[in-house]
Structure 1
Amino acid sequence: MKRSLEQRLQDGPVICGEGYLFELERRGYLQAGSFVPEVAIENPEALKQTYRDYMKAGSDVVLAFTYNAHREKMRIIGKEDLLEPLNRNAIRLAKEVAKEHPTEEALVAGNVSNTNIFDPDDPASKEKVRTMFAEMIKWCKEEDVDFVNGETFYYYEEAKIALEEIQKQDLPAVITFGLMGENILRDGYTVEEGCRLLEEQGALVVGMNCFRGPATMQPYVEKIRETCEGFVGALPIPYRTTEEHPTFFNLPDGGCSCSLPTETTFPTSLDPLYCNRYELASWAKDALNTGVNYFGLCCGASPSMLREVAETVGREAINSTYSPDMEKHFLFGTDDTLKGHNLTYRTKA
């Protein structure tokens, strides 16, 4: 039998592959800017392969790609008629891939996210948000997901609405905050306070995702772990954010020799600012020692990066067979059959 999310969390770390938004833009199937996952309708095989690549890299969860697939985003691009079919198809494709796992069928998670219309001073906006979440989570329930992931909330109250709507459908909830550069949620709560409240209200996992790289997320993850008693999640972006620039929205690139078409490196010029996989592994080790239970990487992550995280926290991925091994490399290998003249040249190459 397929274990539930809670059962897997009790047995050890759970890995959730995210980052589809940037990955599918990088693969050429999604438009940067609007960042709407039309790929679920227009290029379903490309989405399935992306799901598959992250699952084989160690993800226990196939997260349905419905981030930004809410009514407000669909309104902006003039395609509200695709809202329901897009959501349902993203989940159905995820379920198809989850069944391919060779040892234990992967979990399938529905997904809701920040709506960008929430206004704490506007009751009408709150009802719009609730309606948007309610319809998406209803489709999740009808498509028989294992749990719902609510993510990238920068208002506590918006996250609370998401949790309430998930609970109305009797589904487990993972709720994570995206913390902006002010270092506090926009309605005045600290991120650890918001997590504590959501945990008290029944969220299975609480924590953080997106916006921040390992260096500027981990201090807040530690505060969440100290404050909360249950399961904690951490899914940073794989970029070198700093105390001066804690999110990827305003990360500078002092080495760029050309003018950019955007004001900042975000979202299409972040490439030189990546963490390497070993930096991500170092973070994963720290997070594991902190007591994080639910691991992943967010926007910008590749499957090889996720595999490094999974292996660091003690998991063997389907594709761990392809993890780096320099033994046979012509310059840097140690195999006895390698040509000696190449090995002596390694310092000059």
Structure 2
Amino acid sequence: MAKRSLAERLNDGTVIVAEGYLFELERRGYLQAGSFVPEVSLENPEVLKSVYRDFMYAGSDVVLAFTYNAHREKMRIIGKEDQLEPLNRQAIRLAKEVAAEHPNEEALVAGNISNTNIFDPEDPQSKEDVRMMFREMIGWCKEEGVDFIAGETFYYHEEAMIALEEILAADLPAAIMLAMMGENQMRDGYSVEESCKILEDAGALVVGMNCFRGPATMQPYIEKIAKTVKGHLGALPVPYRTTEEHPTFFNLPDEGCTCCIPTETTFPTSLDPLYVNRYEIAEWAKEAKAAGVNYIGLCCGASPAMIRSVTEAVGLEAINSRYSPDMQKHFLFGSDDTLKQHNQAYRGKA
């Protein structure tokens, strides 16, 4: 089957986009929490390919090159600026290798740029530094032949606009995702729906939200954006039980924790008990699709099983849907008439 572009796939229906590599690789033991720099593409390339592949087989139509935080500022912090370009190019090349393995239709490969953490609305030099950081990363993406650029996790509207300008200058399609912190607006004062409308009018193919917020505290804003924009809408929450009192995963409390954790909050290494389950994720995905979302997935904390739940909830089938839960033959909870009846009778006491 000929490989369709992102625009063609969006026009045809729903596009599944798996993010969350950062937490997944930390969970597997190949990435350091704190600095959160994706050195894995150079140090353990086969591990990164496995993660790419696992999420693609769970339903993702996109293999997102793992260059989140692979910008000049983060590499400076860990003292490895000399590895910046090799790391970026390697992450893209590995993504292309895995995308070509898709048995039905070659997956899209997205380049990735993200929040820089140096943007300061009061500092013109910071804005120029951000622009140059984006420009060099996008240049490598262009040279390596990505299908589009995912610009993500922007909590300043103006930084998102700089990202969009640089993507469009490279003549690449742009999906721009915003991430609101606890103020429930962008940090430079824009509402998220206002920001998305400006970004769409400026040429973004997809606008929406990712990261920071779980389904419960992202969805109300997705519905506001849906009423404001005319084009393609994206939603990629984190799979955690955020609340109105704690709208992001940065300050989520764990009331059941009985030990003293070494970090000030459960973020980022003690969030485990605060997951939403795959069935809650599926219900959210249906709700998001009904609201008009057609670029859908999950961000930090996502697992392949969760992405598969999103895929199936919106009416699609993953390559690995054959491994989706089927409890009919479970020795305690199954309904198959060949199962031992004494086990079935015992299940309420197990």
Q: Give the aligned partner of residue 129 of structure 1.
A: 130
What code does the residue aligned with 2:98 have? V
1:148 Cα deviation after fit? 0.2
1:291 Cα deviation after fit? 0.7
CA displacement, residues 251-296 of structure 1 (integer Å, 9 cap, x when unaligned): 0001001000000000000000000000000100100110101001
Asked if 1:114 corresponds to 2:79, the answer is: no
Q: Give the aligned partner of residue 266 of structure 2.
A: 265
What code does the residue aligned with 2:69 have? N
Q: Give the aligned partner of residue 204 of structure 1.
A: 205
Matches within 5 A, 1:189-200: 189-200=190-201
> Matched residues in 2 for 1:305 and 1:104: separation?
22
1:143 Cα deviation after fit? 0.2
CA displacement, residues 133-185 of structure 1 (integer Å, 9 cap, x when unaligned): 00000000000000000000000000000000001110000000011000010
Asked if 1:275 corresponds to 2:276, the answer is: yes
CA displacement, residues 29-73 of structure 1 (integer Å, 9 cap, x when unaligned): 000000000000000000000000000000000000000000000
> Matched residues in 1 for 2:122 and 2:29: separation?
39
Q: Give the aligned partner of residue 4 of structure 1.
A: 5
Q: Give the aligned partner of residue 157 of structure 1.
A: 158
Q: Give the aligned partner of residue 18 of structure 1.
A: 19
Q: Give the aligned partner of residue 338 of structure 2.
A: 337
Q: Give the aligned partner of residue 308 of structure 1.
A: 309
Secondary structure in 2 matching 1:293: strand
> Matched residues in 1 for 2:83 and 2:195: separation?
33
Secondary structure in 2 matching 1:227: coil
Asked if 1:177 corresponds to 2:178, the answer is: yes
Q: Normalising by the residue count of structure 1, what TM-score does the alignment of the two structures yield?
A: 1.00
> Matched residues in 1 for 2:110 and 2:28: separation?
23
Q: Give the aligned partner of residue 75 of structure 1.
A: 76
What code does the residue aligned with 2:85 have? E
What code does the residue aligned with 1:254 have? E
Q: Give the aligned partner of residue 219 of structure 1.
A: 220
> Matched residues in 1 for 2:85 and 2:226: separation?
37
Q: Normalising by the residue count of structure 2, what TM-score does the alignment of the two structures yield?
A: 0.99
CA displacement, residues 182-220 of structure 1 (integer Å, 9 cap, x when unaligned): 001011100000000000000000000000000000000
> Matched residues in 1 for 2:335 and 2:256: separation?
35
> Matched residues in 1 for 2:108 and 2:256: separation?
42
1:313 Cα deviation after fit? 0.4
Secondary structure in 1 matching 2:209: strand
What code does the residue aligned with 2:183 have? E
> Matched residues in 2 for 1:87 and 1:178: separation?
23
Q: Give the aligned partner of residue 37 of structure 1.
A: 38
Secondary structure in 2 matching 1:6: helix
What code does the residue aligned with 1:318 have? I
Matches within 5 A, 1:228-239: 228-239=229-240
Asked if 1:53 corresponds to 2:54, the answer is: yes
CA displacement, residues 220-254 of structure 1 (integer Å, 9 cap, x when unaligned): 00000000000000000000000000000000001
Q: Runs of 5+ in structure 1 lacking a partner?
A: none
Asked if 1:251 corresponds to 2:252, the answer is: yes
> Matched residues in 2 for 1:195 and 1:41: separation?
35
> Matched residues in 1 for 2:48 and 2:101: separation?
15
1:312 Cα deviation after fit? 0.3
Structure 1 residue ranges, 4+ long, deviating more than 4 angstroms after superposition: none
> Matched residues in 2 for 1:95 and 1:249: separation?
33
Q: Runs of 5+ in structure 2 lacking a partner?
A: none
> Matched residues in 2 for 1:62 and 1:315: separation?
17
Secondary structure in 2 matching 1:97: helix
> Matched residues in 2 for 1:179 and 1:293: separation?
20
Q: Give the aligned partner of residue 286 of structure 1.
A: 287
Q: Give the aligned partner of residue 140 of structure 2.
A: 139
What's the C-alpha RMSD, in Å, of the aligned pairs?
Answer: 0.3
- Aligned residue pairs total 349
1:101 Cα deviation after fit? 0.2
